[in-house]
Structure 1
Amino acid sequence: MTRAARWAWLVSLVAVTGACGVLAFLLSIGATTPRGFFERHYVWLFWLNAAVAAALVLVIGIAAVRLLLRVRRAKFGSKLLLKLAGIFALVGVVPGLLIYTVSYQFVNRSIDSWFDVRLASALDAGLNLGRGTLDGLVNELSLKTRDAADRLAESSAGQPVQLLALERLREQMAVRTVALVGSGGQILMAVGGDTSALTPDRPSATLLRQARTAGVMSQLEGLEDEALALQGQARIRALARLPASDMSLGSGDRYLMVVQRVPGQVLTNALAVQTASSEYQQRALERDGLRRMYLGTLTLVLILAVFAALLLAVILGNQLARPLLLLADGMRQVAKGDLSAKPVLASRDELGGLTRSFADMTDQLADARVQVERSVAQLEDARSNLQTILDNLTAGVIVFDARGLIETVNPGATRILRLPLSAYRGRRLEELAPLQGFAQSVAQRFEQLGDSPEAGERGTWQDAFELQLEDGQDTLTLLVRGAQLPPDARLLVFDDISEVVSAQRSAAWSEVARRLAHEIKNPLTPIQLSAERLQHKLEAKLEGADQAMLVRSVGTIVNQVQAMKQLVNEFRDYARLPSAQLKALDLNALASEVLLLYAEAQESGRLHAELAADPPAIQGDPTQLRQVIHNLVQNALDAVSDKPDGQVTLRTQKAFNDAGELRGLRLQVIDNGPGFADKVLKRAFEPYVTTKSKGTGLGLAVVKKIADEHGARVRLVNLHLQGDEGGAAIGAQVSLSFSKLATAPGPLDAGNAHRAA
């Protein structure tokens, strides 16, 4: 709880306590207030008490509900707050209930004692006594006034009444005023009375009428106003009719009026008894309301005590639980990874020290995490750099974990092996059917390295492997290097050296061809000339069978020498194949010109062309590419020569990438012959590899060499029936893919190629 919140709670507590105290004070003085105060303010005091009580109950209820909700949600510290609230509430409520019970009984009995029957009887008796005393004075004055009227009538004997006679009566009766009143109530003469008035007050018409009827009448006046009565305004007025006489001053009745003051002590006692009786009756009428008011005050005080106890429990509980809540919240934040600065309790006790220690520990953890994140970032940068290097390596890289499962594969490995190795992460290399033999060989090589490494091997080994791909089209020659990685991982790095090996073989064959052309061609001509000379010298000298044998033997020698010359010339051409002179040309036009040499095959339907519309121009050497097309078409026609329905198709088509962009031009020669033998597919581009009985095996080797000069890719494929990949071949296909495109086709270049041919 913040300092502002604590001050707000304190001010609220003081305000509520003050309001309740004022209400309790007002209610406590209800019984001693002047007459009429309690009656005027009873309703609003009662409802004000009820409103304050309801507000306190509502506040207590809200606090209790919030506390129970915190307990139900299992918030940290809620159980401690509940326990403290229960303890303080018990401390405040139990004594309060005890006091409330005692006060309840006391109030009931006290109020009942206030209205005891004996007290009511005493008040009634005192009131009757006062009334009796006053009535006695009134009656006594009435008798005296009648006697005085008779004496006055006798003493006057028909003569007018004198003031002196009235004065003597006043002195004899010891009264305040004596007056002679006419029949209409007018004052005829008077003696005595107040000095402030010249004549005494006239009697009321009622009193005058009663005196005319009864002869004499008296009444008590001035008690209506207690203040005036205490000031001496209370009096007894008696009116007696004078007997008729011939000596009266005038016609009509006359009355003797006597006014006597009520004795002060008697008046005071009578008024006191009357006031007490009136208040007693008023309190008796308010007995139930007064009881409810006092009991309401007691209930309000009890609720205030409970409220104060609960409020104190919440405040003290928050003070005790706040450090623990800070620590718990901080721990939850740290558990979620939030290591920001944590609040510290501004106190010097052990709990405050604990929060400070926790904040310091969090700061240290934050610094450590920053260092770790920095290290991780550096590691990620290094890993990213390493991954970039791996992705751009032309060599293939595969990393195996301690269990022999593929962990890392770079794009170079996928490109070289032509298999989706990335999809096999977490699996063994042996699970790829085409790589089972390769995986076993690699595993054996690693075991040899671990058991008995060869001289010079220090945790690494290097070897060459030949790998037959799944489609059986190409054989890869891989240069593989293996290394052990800590703790038990393995690294495999390999390069495709098939082209290097092929180039080495081509270079070796070129050297062999050059040497053969030099060593063999020179003696062939003398051999042929010697054989022909022998035939010329000896043919005429021999007869019959000997002559025929001579002719036959010389012919054989000459024919074989010619064959040897042709073979030597082909080897010479292979060895002396000039570098390609690349320029823009139209491959369709070049193919059409070559097909003119095979007009007979086209007319018989064994050869036909499917040329792409508007093909892009390529960079190529017309002379060499014409030789390539010629070799491929001739080989295809030779393959179908024994089939009556043999067909050869020369096709050109555009090549597109996945994005639909033009990336090259493809030349295909397709036949429906027997296809390539497996041994030819494996080494088709090596010199002297052929299935023909009369072939030299240099045709595809020349094609491969020319394709390499043009940066084109050559591919041999056996064709099968759809869905019968493992069955016999129904044809063969040779494809050349040209990726070097020219900016514009050159029809003149194609014509030049034709003339060069």
Structure 2
Amino acid sequence: MRLRSLEGRLAVLLAFAALMGALVYIGVTSWPLPQTLKWLHTALTLDIPPPTQAGGIIICAIILLPLCWWLGHIVMEPVKRLLRALESAVASYRDGDFSISIALNRRDELGDLIRVHNELGQTLREQRQNLAQRELLLDTVVQNTPVALVLTDSSGRVAYANIAARHLFNEGRSLNGLHFGTLIENSPEALRKATEGTEDALFSVEMDGSEETFHLSQRAFRLQGRPHRLQLFRRMTRELSRQEVAAWKRVIRVVSHELNNSLAPISSLAHSGAELARRGDVQRLPGVFATIGERARHLHGFIDGYARFAKLPAPRPVAIEWQPFLDGLALHCRFQLSGEIPPQPGWFDPVQIEQVLINLIKNAHESGSAPEGVTLALHPVGHELRIEVGDRGPGMSEAVLAQALLPFYSTKRSGTGLGLALAREISEAHGGRIALANREDGGLRVTLALPLTATSA
């Protein structure tokens, strides 16, 4: 036990208190109080009886209680000063001020506590400084990114928005404190519907006389214990144009490759047939002509597939009763009907929409989803009919979502990349649109939005 420790000091004070108590008791009961009382009785004839044992104890208590209080004050005063200093430091930490240090200089356990506290304050100050620098760097990056970022709280009010978001939604003015739903209530319907959902989406809107395509990423999380929602609006028009150029380059390469693969053997076979005819070997000519015809038919079928996409006929919408249409669709593909069949008929070209749904349901099965996870749902919303095809596959990454509707883009090794692009062309020809989004509980949802009536189209 070190002497300068609290235990050492307390032991010394207790020993001093015990010694003082013994001295006071001896002074009251043995010497000098009894001798003093006896001298007063003899010299001054004062009749003061000597104290009894109980009286001696009372006199000792009267003398020792103030002494104990004084010793207790000596012991507790540094502890009380330290507690007050710690209370002030904790209050400063709570207010975000980490500049407080305790200046008491002691060599006991309280000194160790003060030293550890000051080291903690120094660490917090350094971390606060580093965090402020990182926040400044992050804010600079976020403010200058071309992606519009909007952070809203649980009431829908904007807690943070970068420069791109201010220019996109409020003509460059601040968005902080504004209700985001009220802010976009006059925006295009596609944008509002995308923000009303909770999933990532790809949508197009009319801006400044031209069509702009956006990819919306949104996530819900808790910030400082409160629910918040982060939405990222990324302009995809330039990227889509670049991807379209790349897609056309790819299709040119594919077509050129296929033409070379077919025309080269046709040319060779034609030369061989001419040589056989010159020699008079006509028995082998039917085989040569049959091979040329087979290659020509293959080439015709290949070109015809791309021609159908390029020369999509205008849709001929008619009123569609749902039950016969769904029964006919079930003959071509398997799906689970989710929800009720709408009472009002649909309004679209049955051949084109049936082909779109066959392709979408086929893609859903090829995603790796269980057969019972492939669903078809019909939802009338306002003047629109939303046909949703869902699956329980792995979904799509953001990069694939951004390019999935481009012609000739495919993640399948043997895919042509025409299925979703054809669905997009058909839906837009009907006056509707198509959107892809990952489902929160896993899988992909493809939404085909079509007008419900001829007037709304």
TM interval, shorter chain, is 0.3 to 0.5
Normalising by structure 2, we get a TM-score of 0.42
**Larger of the two Rg values belongs to structure:** 1
Using structure 1 for the length normalisation, give the TM-score. 0.27
Structure with the larger helix share: 1
